[in-house]
Amino acid sequence: MFAKQASNHQVTIDLTGLSPGTHRVSIEYKQALPSIMHSVNPSVATIVIYPKLSEIKSLSVDVLNQDSLSEKFVISNLQVSTDTVIVKGAEKDLQRVAVVKALVDLNNLVNAEIGEAILQNVPVIAYDSMGQIVEVEIEPSRVDATMRVDSPSKEVPIRVRPVGTVDFGKAISSLELSETSVEIFGSEEVLDNINYIDVEVDVEGLAEDREMRVDLRSPIGVRTMSLSSVEVNVILGEAVEREVSGINIEYRNLETGYSVQGLTERDVRVIVGLQGVASVVENISPEDVRAYLDLAGLEPGEHEVEVEVEGTDERVNYIAKTRRVTIRIVEE
């Protein structure tokens, strides 16, 4: 019996004894006051009854409203009480089912604490290939989800990177931070790949000491940090110059299967100039300096390539005394 009821009025269709197929059935009207005359229009409906079929489907999990969880928390080891469900319905509907998902809504994880958490009565929904809900019967229609709530963190140093060039004749003597380290929060996988947090300080044209507040930028995957900004005190001094000779040239981004030959001695070792305050440049050793060629995209043959230089101390300006070298790339 199928009924459509509004207030005290009821329209019914009696399906008793009908088998799968197409049927024309009468629409009957029931009312609270039988003394009132009535008619039903239309009085007959065409219906189709389908055989109910069933299939076993794998159950996947979607996590909703992850942003509602504290930024210091991470969810792991999420499991539901079953990994398969039975989907029942007409064959045409079962054919539309592409995926069945348990929708774990973290909004329902009230007062989350570190440890194991359980969410009960998680709804199970069937979707087609376009992400539209398919109205079928699912057993079970609700499942329980268990998960681990953790708060992985790591303390890493803050590394200052000056951007730009200070005023002529000046150099950076020191870069003093109000905080030298920061605690970062994220998954263990993300934290394992982060060893420091870079903070850039604009020193372009700087002619005197200056203290400035600089924002910290979260690396990709870091959910939050214990600090959002730090004070950086840039102290200047008089610049001096010094040279470091015999720096071997490194080769970067060389395609697999190739090797490099320098044509002359000056093509494999260079002199690097250092500009900085005396107390800093005097402590720079050859091991602190790198000279390299970026060989990305270069094929076998002779090439004239620009020399790039860098060093371990951000307070020093590194200058390649040999601007370009000639190399030969050969197949191994």
Per-residue pLDDT, 44: 84
d(CA 120, CA 146): 9
* C-alpha span between 181 and 158 (Å, rounded): 5
Q: Are residues 83 and 29 in the same domain?
A: no
* Cβ neighbour number for residue 168 with a 10 Å cutoff: 8
Residues 19 and 72 in one domain: no
Statement: residue 153 has pLDDT above 70? yes
Question: Does residue 215 sit in the same domain as residue 274?
Answer: no
DSSP state of 96: H
Regarding predicted confidence, which is higher, 220 or 17? 220
Question: Mean pLDDT, to the nearest integer, of 63-92?
Answer: 91
Domain termination site, one of 150, 178, 210: 150
Identify the domain boundary among 150, 181, 197: 150
Mean pLDDT along residues 278-301: 95
Is pLDDT of 42 > 50?
A: yes
Are residue 202 and residue 220 in the same domain, yes or no? yes
Regarding whether 171 and 125 lie in a shared domain, the answer is no
Q: Which domain holds residue 11?
A: 2-49
pLDDT band with cut points at 50, 70 and 90 for residue 41: confident
Distance CA 104, CA 63 (A): 5
Query: If you average pLDDT over residues 55-63, what whole number do you get?
Result: 95
| pLDDT score at 3 | 47
What total number of domains does the chain contain?
Answer: 4
What pLDDT is stored for residue 8 in this prediction? 60
Instruction: Give me the helices (H) in 270-309, please.
Output: 278-281
- Mean pLDDT, to the nearest integer, of 143-159? 95
Is the pLDDT assigned to residue 128 strictly greater than 80? yes
What is the per-residue pLDDT for 45?
Answer: 84
Dist. CA 309–CA 291, nearest whole Å? 4
Indicate whether 102 and 184 sit together in one domain. Answer: no
Domain edge (last residue) among 238, 257, 288: 238
232 and 179 together in one domain: yes
Angstrom distances, CA of residue 4 to CA of 14, 16, 29, 35: 12, 17, 10, 21
Bigger pLDDT: 240 vs 31: 240
Q: Are residues 76 and 95 in the same domain?
A: yes
The pLDDT-based confidence of 326 (bands split at 50, 70, 90) is very high
CATH of the domain at 310: 2.170.120.30
CATH number of the domain to which 130 belongs: 2.170.120.40
Do 180 and 225 lie in one domain? The reply is yes
Same domain, 166 and 204: yes
pLDDT confidence band for 14 (50 / 70 / 90): confident
Asked whether residue 285 falls in the same domain as residue 208, the answer is: no
Q: Are residues 162 and 190 in the same domain?
A: yes
Q: Which residue has the higher pLDDT, 121 or 52?
A: 121
> What region does 93 belong to: left with phi over 0, alpha with psi -120 to 50, or beta?
alpha
